[in-house]
Amino acid sequence: MVLPQPIGVCLLPFLIAGGATGLLCDKGGPRALAGPAVGAAMAAAFMAANGAPFFGAPPHHALGESLVLFTVAGAAISVFGDGIARWHVIVLWAALAAAVWPFGIAGFETPDPGDMLQMAIAAGCGCLALWRLTSLSQDGPAGVGVAAVAAAGLAAVAGFARSGVTAGLALSLACACLGWLVWAWRARRGATAIATLVAGTSIISIGVEVTRTALHAPWALLVLFFCCWPEAVVARVPPLAKLARRKAYRPTALVLAAAPPAVLAGVLAFVASLGRTAP
């Protein structure tokens, strides 16, 4: 069954992420598993739009497979990785997998120099971006909030670059992050880090898929990359700096600071689309 687009793209991931997080964070619930709820919502949104990724070959099946695998990996880390000493190693391998998996096995069987270069650039940028996002989880739900802003910007860039399916998935990710944030105040710090990790890997995979399927070169993604450095904006905007001094409001300040690059990326993508369609 294919759900109507507004429900499948926006409402479904919001309700799944919010409902699962709320239930898992309930008194006596397994709070450690609240982190992967974002990934579960994304996997559900993908399957509602495209079908099961591991059965048959639905559109963008490699992207759907990566969303499912990152969710399972996040759940495994939540259950068995308490007190992990090498968190940076997990972030590194997660970013590499997120950048490479959308190319599929065929990308390695018949390697193309252009694909290899694109893969290397995506892996390098993905590692840096995911490291920054996960470091923001030290400020409570800031990492997930910034991921929601970046996903919304990615949806705009993908839409204007004529990559419709990935635009819908990016919007689904933004809604899933918002649903998770409803219950963020009850989530443990470890669950927040896992949620940020799953959301960040999803952004990387979707971004890679946008570069591979867009009709127009999505150069605006380079601007979106700077969403991962909200502290630089906070330090230069006095109202945000004042808000960030209060610990309870620091995540809000960081999320607001991530908005300008996302908005600018969307505007640049829109301008570029006008130039492409002009006679």
- pLDDT for 174 equals 93
Residue 128 pLDDT exceeds 70 = yes
pLDDT, mean of residues 157-175: 86
**In angstroms, how far is CA 164 from the centroid of its own chain?**
17
Spatial separation of the C-alpha atoms in residues 146 and 138, rounded to whole Å: 13
* C-beta separation of 17 from 38 below 8 A: yes
E strands of the chain, at which residues?
none
- pLDDT tens for residues 66-80? 888 888 888 787 777
- pLDDT tens for residues 1-36? 334 466 667 888 888 888 888 777 765 455 566 778
- pLDDT for 192 equals 83
Q: Which of 79, 115, 78, 84 is nearest to 100 (CA)?
A: 115
pTM, 2 dp: 0.85
Percentage with pLDDT > 90 across the chain: 18
- pLDDT for 151 equals 93
Give me the amino acid identity at 168.
Answer: G
Range picked from 121-125, 136-140, 149-153 for highest mean pLDDT: 149-153
pLDDT, mean of residues 128-146: 86
278: confidence class by pLDDT, cuts 50, 70, 90: very low
- pLDDT tens for residues 106-118? 555 566 666 677 7
Range picked from 23-37, 45-59, 149-163, 207-221 for highest mean pLDDT: 149-163
Residue 156 pLDDT exceeds 60 = yes
- pLDDT tens for residues 182-219? 887 666 667 788 888 888 888 988 888 888 877 776 78
C-alpha distances (whole Å) from 56 to each of 50, 63, 136, 278 are: 11, 14, 38, 39
